[in-house]
Structure formats: C-alpha cells, structure tokens
Amino acid sequence: MEPLFGIVLGLILAVASPAHDSCTCATNKWAACAQDGPGNCTCRLAGSHHPVDCSTLTSKCFLMKAEMILLKEKRLWRPPHGVSDSDGIYNPDCEASGAFKARQCNQSRSCWCVNTAGLRRTERGGRSLSCSELVRTRWIYIELTHKRSSSAFRVPDVVKALTELFESRYKLHPKYIAAIEYDPPLIQIRLDQNKKPRWDVDIADVAYYFEKDVNNDSVFRSNGQLTVSVNGDALAIEKLWIYYVDEKPPEFCMRQLAAGISAVVTVVLLTAGIGIAVLLILRWLRTRTYKKFECKEMREIKAPSLE
C-alpha cells in the first residue's frame, strides 16, 4: 500500500508543480501571483490588491506605483519631511482602470495636472488646483541610435523588424505605428493614437515598457536584455530619446513664454533707459564744458587793458 501511496503522491506533485510554476505574470515582474483554485492563477500588483491582466501590458500608472512601493521598501532612511522635486517617477494616484488621475499631488500638498502618460503639463499649485480633464498624449516620437556595424541595414528590414517587435512584445497594433524612418545610425519612430479602445494597449504604456527594456530594467519577468534582430543581425540600441505630444499644448508653456517675453522686454527697456541716461549725461557734460569755455573767452575780451 505504501509504494502505491508514494506513486500517487508523486503524480499529484508532478501535476501540481507545473501548475505552480506557471502561476507567474509574464508581463509584470513586480506582480505577486498565487494559485487560488484548480487552474486559476491570480496576480496582483506589489503592495496593492489590484488584479493584473498578465496577457497584456500593465498601465504605466500602476507600474510607477509599484516601483515607488519597492523603492520605499529598499530605502534605509530618509528625512521625515524631505520632498523630492523631480518630474520623473513619483507615487501617482490611479483610477481603477489604471489611468492616471488628472490631478496629482505629493506629500507637501503641491499639486499639478498630468496627461495620459503621467507627465506634468501645468505649473505646480496648491490643493485648490483644479484639473478639468485628463488630456490625451496622442503622439509619441521615439528616436534611437544603434551601434555602427560593418554594413548598414536595409530600410525595409529595419521597419519590418521594429514593427514586429512592437506588435509581438508590446501588443501594439501596427495601425498605431504611423512611421518608421531610418538614416544610419538614427532611427525615428512615430506612434499615433487618437482614441484608444478598451482592448488596445496605450502607446504611453508601450513607450514606458520599451524605455525600461532599452535601459536593461525590463518589466517583463524574463529579465534578459532586449534583442532586436534584423535579418539575423543584432540591432544594438545605443541611445534613446522619447518625446510626448498632447492633443492640447501644455499650459505652463504659455506662462513660461509670457515670463520669458516679459524678461526680454524688461531687459530691453532697462538697456534703452540706461543708454538714454548716458547720452543725456554726456550731452550735459559737453554743454557745461562749452559754456565754461565761452564764459572764459568773454571775460578775456571784456577785461581792461593794462596799457
């Protein structure tokens, strides 16, 4: 009986082991997964109870929140009232859908408005700051350079390789890839997404995942370095720049522009005022010298002769 029991137990463990190993989130290494039933694996974000759909990309807002939680856990000490004034990663407020809330605030009661990519688009204000809408980031421009090789790649091959990369790895429909241009070693990619159906990934999430991959900090569970192959040859990405363009221009740009124009006008007026003042002083000095010289000549003419 004991040998039979051992065989049965071994079969159970053999069946359960792959199921347990498969209970992971391939698209989010920060997700905690657990087997909560036969064939049912549930993954949730680190530090929260929000479930994660591991068949697609996790929203950038949820990713940033998970990163901040992990950073706090790793941090040994920080000043109790310290404030980080960085426009990079922060602990965002997210909607249940994973979208950024239009208004973001930090612990110092400083608030600002963001776009769908979570980037600041207004000046910082107080808690009374109102953000009427979450402005959509419609265009994303990605520029990258690759290491020079002995032979340049063909343009169609580069376009095909990158299109397949964004479609297979980042689940992005090719219709959102507006253009890919290649002028060795520079590659330019333009993503265009006016409206996002619920079933499509957001281009802001795609750009965030891609940036993490290039910087060797992949969000995917397989932490291997990103490899892009063009006809069997590796496309080694060297530098990366990402630019976000919203449907509406950022509000703080106009304020900065107005402030810049005011500063230029002030400098011009001050310069002109100083110049006029210098000219008036020089003219006054010349007039004064001329009058002194004229008075001296008159006194010499009117002086009586000693003879």
Per-residue pLDDT averaged across 44-51, rounded? 78
- Cis? peptide before 3, omega within 30° of 0: no
Confidence of residue 7 (pLDDT cuts 50, 70, 90): very low
Answer whether 91's CB lies under 8 Å from 65's CB.
yes
The reported pLDDT for the residue numbered 10 is 43
The reported pLDDT for the residue numbered 5 is 41
227-234's contacts with Cβ under 8 Å and 24+ in sequence apart are 228/161, 228/162, 228/165, 229/161, 230/153, 230/157, 230/158, 230/161, 231/153, 231/154, 231/157, 231/161, 233/149, 233/153
Per-residue pLDDT averaged across 135-145, rounded? 96
pLDDT in tens, 275-302: 788 788 887 777 766 555 555 555 655 5
Instruction: Tell whether the model's pLDDT for residue 50 goes beyond 90.
Output: no
Q: Give strand pairing partners of 35.
A: 41
Whole-angstrom CA distances from 301 to 155, 252, 288, 304 are: 95, 73, 20, 8
The reported pLDDT for the residue numbered 296 is 57
* Whole-prediction pTM: 0.73
Confidence of residue 17 (pLDDT cuts 50, 70, 90): very low
Per-residue pLDDT averaged across 61-86, rounded? 64
pLDDT in tens, 153-186: 899 999 999 999 999 999 999 999 999 999 999 9
The reported pLDDT for the residue numbered 142 is 97
Q: Which amino acid is at 112?
A: W
77-84's contacts with Cβ under 8 Å and 24+ in sequence apart are 83/107, 83/108, 83/110
Closest Cα to residue 190, out of 139, 253, 137? 139
Q: What are the residue boundaries of the structural domains of the chain, listed by start?
A: 31-72+87-246
Q: Mean pLDDT score of the chain, rounded to an integer?
A: 80
pLDDT in tens, 247-257: 999 986 544 44
The reported pLDDT for the residue numbered 47 is 63
The reported pLDDT for the residue numbered 4 is 46
Answer whether 61's CB lies under 8 Å from 98's CB.
yes
The reported pLDDT for the residue numbered 258 is 46
CA distance 177 to 200: 13
The reported pLDDT for the residue numbered 134 is 95
Confidence of residue 262 (pLDDT cuts 50, 70, 90): low
